[in-house]
Amino acid sequence: MNLPANFSANIVDLITGGISFLLTLMVLSYLIGDNPAFRVAIYIFIGVGAGYVAAVVWHQVLDARLIKPLFSGSLADRLLTVVPLVMGLLLLLKLSPRTSRLGTPAMAFLVGVGAAVAVGGAVMGTLFPQTQASMNALELSAAGNYWLERLSEGVIMLAGTVTTLIYFHFGAKATATGPQRSKLVRVLSRVGQIFIAITFGALFAGVFVAAMTALIERWNFIITFLSTL
């Protein structure tokens, strides 16, 4: 029996849609509490995700960047792959407590390089540029006719930055009733606390919006799937 290609595609879409639909409902079943359906769905997602990641790493990293150069590459490629091969094997020795010390050099190399790259990037890509941007917040020449808006924005940004940093200043002077911060610091830290609360509110709103968008997307899929049946 010859089935049309459109039919087979629809069957595949139906099967995949059905599985997606079931898994979505199983996840949403957490609304009534922890239940086996939710656990099964979670286990499936974790297993599939881990398997997929392993497959990707094998095909796109180990096989493509280590195995193939080692067996079919040039001499230079083979020599270059010896270093990551040895270090990778040493890292595997970390699995056993008795041989974990042998993997320490490789681990130290990874941590050292990673820390150096992260620190360098943080200093050059975040600390200096962000500090400079904060100092330029009150630059009104580039604002044009919106100087008042720019000024207010700059003042708020400056106030938020300063008061937030003051909030995290825990220095205090010894008084008769115990160590206390000065009154000015306490006032500014209170303002900083407000900015921090607003920031956390913004973060929560963003997380809530992202979660609601995901929920909308899932219900859109369910409605679409059900409508296609």
Partner 1 sequence: MAGVLCPKCGKSNPAELENCKYCNAILTPNPASTPEAVPDQRLPLEPIPSSSSDSSGELPDWLSGLGKAASDDEEEIPDWLTSLRGEEASTSASESAATLEPTLNFTGSLSAGPGGKDWMARLANKAQTETPENAPEGGLQGEGESLDWLESLKSDSATPGQADQLSSPEDNEWIPAWPPGSPAGLKENKPDSSEEEYLPDWLSNLKEKATESETAPGEKDGTSAGSEKPGQVSNFGSSPGTPEAATGESTPEWLSNLEAKTGPELAMPARGSNGEIPASGAARNGTPSWLSQFQADANAAAEQNAKEERFEAAPPAPAKENGNGPLPDWLAGIKGSSTTSDGNPALIANKEGPAPQEKDDEAFSLEIPDWISKLKPEQEGEKIPEADAEPATTGNLAVSELPSWIQAMRPVESVVAEAKATLHDKPQVTEQNGPLAGLSGVLPVGPGLGALSKPPAYASTLQISDGQQRYAASFDRLIASETEPQEVKRTSLVSNRLLRWLIASLLILAVVLPLITKIPITPASTLQMPEMVKAFNLIDSLPANAAVLMVFDYDPALSGEMEAAAAPLMDHLLFKGPRLTLISTSPTGPALAERIMHEPNASPLVAGHNYQTGQQYVNLGYLAGGSSGVQFFAISPEEAAPFTMDGQPAWQLPPLQGIQELKDFGAIIVLTDNADSGRVWIEQAGPIIDNTPMLMVISAQVEPMILPYYNSGQIKGLVTGLVGGLAYGQVFLRPDGQTGLAQRYWNSFSAVALVAEILIVVGALWSFATGWRTRRSKAGEGV
* Distance from the Cα of residue 2 to its chain's centroid: 48
Q: What amino acid occupies position 188?
A: L
Helix (H) or strand (E) holding 157: helix 147-167
- Binding to partner 1 (CB under 8 A) within 92-151 occurs at 113-114, 117-118, 121-122, 124-126, 129-130, 132-133
**Are the C-beta atoms of 181 and 192 separated by less than 8 Å?**
no
Residue closer to partner 1, measured from CB, 96 or 175: 175
- Residue from 32, 75, 95, 229 touching partner 1 (CB under 8 A): that is 32
| Least distance to partner 1, CB of residue 190, Å | 21
- Considering only 60, 96, 152, 182, the residue that binds partner 1 (CB under 8 A) is 60
Q: Is 207 in the site for partner 1 (CB under 8 A)?
A: yes
Q: 74: which 2 tokens?
A: 């040039």
Number of residues engaging partner 1 in binding (CB under 8 A)? 50
Biggest CA–CA distance in the chain, Å, is: 94
**Residue 173: beta bridge partners?**
180
Nearest CB to partner 1, comparing residues 89 and 226: 226
- Comparing CA positions, the residue from 148, 146, 193 lying closest to residue 166 is 193
Q: Measured from the CB of residue 117, what is the shortest distance to partner 1 in angstroms?
A: 5
4-12, 163-171, 182-190, 213-221 -> range binding partner 1 (CB under 8 A): 213-221
Q: Report which of 227, 223, 229, 228 is spatially closest to residue 24, judged by C-alpha positions.
A: 223
CA distance 81 to 65: 8
Residues 153-182 that bind partner 1 (CB under 8 A): 174, 178-179
Where is 45: in which H helix or E strand? helix 36-57
Task: Answer yes or no whether residue 53 interacts with partner 1 by CB under 8 A.
Answer: yes
Residues that bind partner 1 (CB under 8 A): 31-33, 49, 52-53, 56-57, 59-61, 63-64, 113-114, 117-118, 121-122, 124-126, 129-130, 132-133, 174, 178-179, 199, 202-203, 205-210, 212-221, 223-224
